[in-house]
Amino acid sequence: MKSIFSCLLSLSALPLVAQQPDFSPLQLAEKMTREEKIRLVVGMGMKLPGTAQGNGTGVGMLEDKVPGAAGSTAAFPRLGLPATIVADGPAGLRISPTRPGESRTYYATAWPVATLLASSWDTRLVEEVGRAMGREVKEYGVDVLLAPGLNIHRNPLGGRNFEYYAEDPLVSGKMAAAMVRGIQSNGVGTSPKHFAVNNQETNRNSVNVLVSERALREIYLRGFEIMVKESDPWTIMSSYNYLNGPYTSENYDLLTTILRKEWGFRGLVMTDWFGGKDPVAQMKAGNDLLMPGTPAQMAEIRKALEAGTLDEKVLTENAARIIRYIQQTPAFKKYVPSNQPGLKAHAAIARRAAAEGMVLLKNEMSSLPFPKGARLAAFGITSYDFVSGGTGSGDVNEAYTVTLPEGLLQAGFIPDSALQALYVPYVTAEKALQPKKSFIEEFFNPTPRIPELELNVQTITAAADAADAALITLGRNAGEGSDRKTANDFNLKASEQQLLEQVSAAFHARGKRVVVVINAGGVIETASWRHLADAILLAWQPGLEAGNAVADVLSGKMNPSGKLATSFPLKYEDDITAVNFPGREFPEKAETGMMGMKKIPAEVVYGEGIYVGYRYYLTAGVPVAWPFGHGLSYTRFRYSPAVVTALPGGNFRVSLTVTNTGKIPGKEVVQLYVTAPSGKLDKPAAELKGFAKTRLLAPGQSQMLYFQLSPRDLASFDTEQTAWVTDAGQYTLKLGASSLDIRQTAVLRVSKNVIVQKCNKVLVPPVPIREWKK
């Protein structure tokens, strides 16, 4: 205590520089005392059971300014630097919806999850969502949204996959860039995360990811590279895991050599919450801000400075980057938040975006759209308890979630009232029985979804007599802290299987259709039961307007145009990463980690190399349930032959015309895959190199789409040369409606081998990784 007081006294005696004209961030950092800099690079703490209440500097926690925010940075009035506030997360602003002593509420929009947004393949839409999301950040008084998440869907069981976009780095990078541009257009910041290779929740703080340089560069870093170069985020969040040895937050080569020197990142890097171990190593690596911040971190930095093991210059640079960030914030600009973010208008955008990213997987005999006024029997507890988004820090406190029957009713359908009379009280009663838990309790021990209601045969038969068609919703939820399981999650529960069988038997016996709605944040098994459904709509986790958005697609008000940005295998074991997920544990070396939790050292080897998702399925010829890029429409499209034009600088332009040949308006997503010539490096059968979505085309209407390719787009990372290299030879360009539905091809020739870009020899795995090859 004594030292804090003496430190505060000495600070108040320091000259005031706030009013003096325009110092650069570095000049301001140089004017700071050592103690001030230490206080700046360590966040202000977080109110969590078992942790410090603030970092004990005497400046105080800022949580009370925006309750429910995740953290804050310290204020330095003498330097004119205010405190700033950061809050989660990727599906919308996560703050407390209520405040002590106030009657008004602070709800935020629960947006469709990232996986759904990516399935729209529409970067303009994602930017629009980002603009609205950022408005809520600004108007609720927050400076940085801890989003977007853009880790790769390496394995379908990844607990946070819903927060991330895709199994492909191009889609991930383009979507994240659009999101960052949208959010930051409000003058608030973003923190794209988790940099890098945070592809699992199991042992996330203790797993060492062993991955080749090539897989890193082509798959796991590529999306971040695209995002940094195309959107200039204010901050980036390092991840929890180790990467080929050190923690990512302690890795100079990741955070400085690659991120700053190779890619030109100008912002600050913050840790994930309590991430890493050695604050001094983090400072040296260029991980400028330690979040949420603890007194122990400050003490260690102070000790290293005194001992001369940390150069004060390093700390000054870290501080300067934080100052540069602070000077951009609404807090610095003294913006007074209105606490009126326009939730009504945002709900309309959320509804439209949700429908744009839903994927019509199957639609036999044009079962969908349903005719107006159809009588629909909604089965499954999820129909009455729709999942708007995932759990953990990716969750949002929204005011409501529209259920399926509510959406159906508003769309002019007639939901079966007898079923509602059974389900609604059941769901209410079961939910009331669930334990009331704090965020932290729920975080570490998520409450399972309520069990399926078992219906007797008479109930199902009566519904089949009364209704025109059946809807069965299958629901899944997951989130931070644990990965999903195959039993009763990836694979159906016995009760769901039984419901599908009974309902489809009863309705099909009467010549009536059965439509399954999948309400999940990630991939589930569908191959064993899909024959029971006439149509399957993958609604993902569509945010607060869930039921309305599903009804918009079921009614045909919105013609589905979403396509998968992640593959659906026939069975879990077909995924090449299944044998290496979530890796090996070393329980004999267990130690005590954050908040007294057991930390088990672990290791995961990315033995699939670059062959993640469709790159593997296409190359190995392994059949899937629904391929990458798949998604149906209520109309049809014709693709004209593709035209390739050479442009200056070794670039190429590919163009083609898409025509709506069906009977109703619709949008089409065209994907450009490239098959490279066989050269020195092993190449996937095809890789996505571009995508474009048409506007809404009326029947008979056409639109020309363009794709531009640079030599870098055709290159692979050659580990021997530590460079991006384009091999000479013939490249086949494949324009498709999915990775398996190629409509047009064209070729282009590269006359000689080109080293497109030399890189630094860094992040080398400590042992050679044995990788799958074709």
- Chain contacts with ligand BGC (rule: CB under 6 A): 70, 88-89, 146, 193, 272-273, 393, 480
Helix (H) or strand (E) holding 176: helix 169-184
User: What are the beta bridge partners of residue 626?
Assistant: 568
Cα dist. 576→141, 153, 209, 427 in Å?
45, 12, 16, 38
Helix (H) or strand (E) holding 670: strand 669-675
Pairing mode, if any, of strands 207-210 and 242-243? parallel
CB of 480 to ligand BGC, least distance (A): 6
Question: Is the CB of residue 155 less than 8 Å from the CB of residue 187?
Answer: no
278 catalytically annotated: no
| Omega of the bond leading into 292 within 30 degrees of 0 (cis) | yes
Give the nearer residue to ligand BGC in terms of CB position, either 443 or 717: 443
Q: Cα separation of 568 and 570, whole Å?
A: 7
Q: Cα separation of 492 and 529, whole Å?
A: 9
Give the nearer residue to ligand BGC in terms of CB position, either 70 or 551: 70
CB of 273 to ligand BGC, least distance (A): 4
CB of 275 to ligand BGC, least distance (A): 8
CB of 142 to ligand BGC, least distance (A): 12
Helix (H) or strand (E) holding 766: none
Give the nearer residue to ligand BGC in terms of CB position, either 70 or 520: 70
CB of 282 to ligand BGC, least distance (A): 16
CB of 639 to ligand BGC, least distance (A): 40
Question: Is the CB of residue 109 less than 8 Å from the CB of residue 95?
Answer: no
Give the nearer residue to ligand BGC in terms of CB position, either 297 or 526: 297
Question: Is the CB of residue 529 less than 8 Å from the CB of residue 492?
Answer: yes
Q: Cα separation of 450 and 453, whole Å?
A: 9
CB of 738 to ligand BGC, least distance (A): 31
Question: Is the CB of residue 496 less than 8 Å from the CB of residue 449?
Answer: no
- Residues near 17 by beta carbon (within 8 Å), at least 6 away in sequence: 23, 28, 31, 78, 79, 80
Query: Tokens standing for 765?
Result: 């795995």
Residue 645's nearest CA partner among 707, 582, 727, 585 is: 707
CB of 114 to ligand BGC, least distance (A): 12
| Omega of the bond leading into 582 within 30 degrees of 0 (cis) | yes
Give the nearer residue to ligand BGC in terms of CB position, either 146 or 514: 146
CB of 240 to ligand BGC, least distance (A): 7
CB of 62 to ligand BGC, least distance (A): 14
Strand, helix or coil for residue 658: strand
Please tell me which residue in 122, 143, 272, 385 is annotated as part of the active site: 272
Question: Is the CB of residue 502 less than 8 Å from the CB of residue 457?
Answer: yes
Question: Is the CB of residue 130 less than 8 Å from the CB of residue 182?
Answer: yes
CB of 277 to ligand BGC, least distance (A): 16
Tell me phi and psi for residue 578, to 5 degrees.
-55, -35
Q: Cα separation of 193 and 173, whole Å?
A: 12
The single residue listed with the structure tokens 């697609």 is 553
Give the nearer residue to ligand BGC in terms of CB position, either 450 or 594: 594
Q: How deeply is 621 buried, as exposed, middle or buried, from its count of CB atoms within 10 A (0-12, 13-18, 19+)?
A: exposed
Give the nearer residue to ligand BGC in terms of CB position, either 240 or 614: 240
CB of 383 to ligand BGC, least distance (A): 31
Q: Cα separation of 104 and 76, whole Å?
A: 31
CB of 88 to ligand BGC, least distance (A): 5
User: Using alpha carbons only, what angle is made at residue 564 by residues 90 and 479, rounded to the nearest 5 degrees?
Assistant: 35
Give the nearer residue to ligand BGC in terms of CB position, either 52 or 414: 52
Give the nearer residue to ligand BGC in terms of CB position, either 273 or 634: 273
Give the nearer residue to ligand BGC in terms of CB position, either 70 or 289: 70
Give the nearer residue to ligand BGC in terms of CB position, either 393 or 577: 393
Q: Cα separation of 616 and 258, whole Å?
A: 27
Give the nearer residue to ligand BGC in terms of CB position, either 150 or 658: 150
Question: Is the CB of residue 454 less than 8 Å from the CB of residue 495?
Answer: yes
Q: What one-character-per-residue DSSP string does 693-740 give?
A: E---BPTT-EEEEEEEE-HHHH-EEETTTTEEEE-SEEEEEEEEEETT
Give the nearer residue to ligand BGC in terms of CB position, either 88 or 545: 88
Q: What number of residues does the chain have? A: 774
- Residues near 512 by beta carbon (within 8 Å), at least 6 away in sequence: 464, 467, 468, 469, 470
- Residues near 534 by beta carbon (within 8 Å), at least 6 away in sequence: 362, 363, 364, 365, 367, 513, 514, 515
Helix (H) or strand (E) holding 251: none
Helices (H), 385-493: 404-410, 417-433, 439-444, 457-466
Active site positions, annotated: 272
